[in-house]
Structure 1
């Protein structure tokens, strides 16, 4: 029976080499966890900003100006709110991207894999393309005033990007994409809950996915 182990180990080595040549397998579970934490912090900051805006509408001159017919103050306050929310979203994305990149680079170095070979380039392109298209769609929605569709479209296009990119990295990432798609589609018919769905998709699902990937691929190491 022992004589069968060397051929089996050889086949496993060949399989591993083929996977490394066609897939980027150094994604870190900590990348998903860190991105999820950043998303939850960003959602919390956005919620606090929205609450402060609503309190201002109820209590200060902005609310009174609305009933006096002076909508300039109200419009300025709403514009400031949207600018702050987009600023929070931008900072959250940058923080999540940097933290994910650092954890993935650390694991890539441990595995001795390149961070920018042809496989990674294909992975990046197949991830970025749906997100770029989604960005233009979301920009047009904002220009048209359909703010309630921003959160579900973020989830849907991000989910499509993950499913599309799963061919070039660990296959489990497609399930994270499915989860984003499901949440995004549900959120299309649940207006007013976009921030909570956004936090669930980009925050909680990322943390659950990252913890699972760490347990499966990195725990023993």
Structure 2
């Protein structure tokens, strides 16, 4: 066996090991759609607050409940779209949708995300709204970084970006709404577009 053939075999083995330990069928289009949903939801939230006649939101207010519903719908449609498009891509690639790699991916993604969600609900119950946007970005970024070990490495860069935006948001809470839209909307569209371009090249 020549050295070139030996190196080729080693490369193929590494590729197989990577595929078996990572879920690589995440859809770039699902990232784009999640960003679009976030921007639409952000526009709805802005309209609700602008037309509420209130200077600030209160926990038991009608507008606040509508904004919570708005956030829930953004998350719901993003998850449903991601499941559909990722399943479609996985089947096309001949990859199992629900295997050890995907279970690890979801578990490691949910641990920081659920912890962050519970913490945010606690401080909202205390009527502390100022850092909500920052916390959403930071915990989401941590969830992405934690899950990136079990999927495509580019997810880590998106996670780092979300954390940086969250820290900036914590430093300048008055710009929280716009930074939230930048993180969950624009960055998702950019990230999804880059992945989508890579998919088309393959």
**TM-score of the aligned structures, taking structure 1 as reference length:** 0.84
**Which stretch has the larger CA shift, 23-32 or 9-18?**
9-18
Query: Counterpart of 1:181?
Result: 163
What is the distance in 1 between the residues matched to 2:82 and 2:65? 26
- C-alpha distance after superposition, 1:48-71 (max 9, x if no partner): 111111xx359xxxxxxxxxxxxx
**Could you tell me whether the CA contact under 8 Å between 2:116 and 2:135 is conserved in 1?**
yes
Equivalent position of 1:120 in the other structure: 102
* Residue in structure 2 matched with residue 219 of structure 1 by the alignment: 200
Q: Where does structure 1 lack aligned partners over 5 or more consecutive residues?
A: 59-73
Length, aligned pairs only? 200
Q: Which runs of 5+ in 2 are unaligned?
A: none
Tell which deviates more after alignment, 7-16 or 130-139: 7-16
TM-score, structure 2 as length reference: 0.92
| Pair member with larger Rg | 1
Taking only aligned residues, the RMSD between alpha carbons, in angstroms, comes to 2.0
4+ runs of 1 displaced by more than 2 Å?
3-13
**Structure 1, residues 143-188: CA drift from partner, whole Å, max 9, x if none?**
1111111111000000000011111111111000000000001111
Please list, as runs of the form range in 1=range in 2, the aligned pairs for 1:1-221 lying within 5 A after superposition.
7-53=6-52, 56-57=53-54, 79-216=61-198, 218-221=199-202
